[in-house]
Amino acid sequence: MKQVLRYRRKTKGNGLLAHDAAMALDVEALAARVSYVGSGEHKVRPLDPSFDFSPALRSDASRCDPGVTREQAQAALRQAVRLRCVSEDFVGDFPRYVWGWLDGRPHIARLDNQEQGAYKAWPIGREEFPMDRGGRLAPPEEKP
């Protein structure tokens, strides 16, 4: 007998910003305003010194690579914004979700502070990316 799953996977937003709206987005201005702050819920020790908090790992949280620095994560976040890999859900001036790649792994970033444009992020499976007909979410090595 087939096992019935008792949970439903939550979706992250309604998907990528539509192509026309994404093209109208001033990505350079937005990328300059977003920042990566991280979260102790996803960090394991030893933690890179660029983070100024101590890990408080949740048992159900995805594990982030402890060797990734805040600067690397912020650069990946800003690159994903420049590639228009943002959700159609905006909270104020910022997209609720941003999808991108860091160290060859897919990640999702979620808006953590809407006034400051601060995000936290964690690794996900590639199958967790939203539908992407335009190829914006392709791994960097697959982009033309």
With a pLDDT cut of 90, the percent of the chain lying above it is 41
DSSP, res 86 = B
Per the listing, tokens 């990316």 go with: 129
Unique residue bearing structure tokens 């060859």: 104
What the block records as the tokens of 29 is 């201005």
Q: Is the pLDDT of residue 25 over 80?
A: yes
pLDDT over 70, % of the chain = 69
Q: Please report, as a single letter, which amino acid is at residue 6.
A: R
**Domain extent listing, the chain:** 19-128
Phi and psi dihedrals of 107, rounded to 5?
-135, 160
Question: Which helix (H) or strand (E) element contains residue 21?
Answer: helix 19-24
For tokens 């910022």, the residue is 94
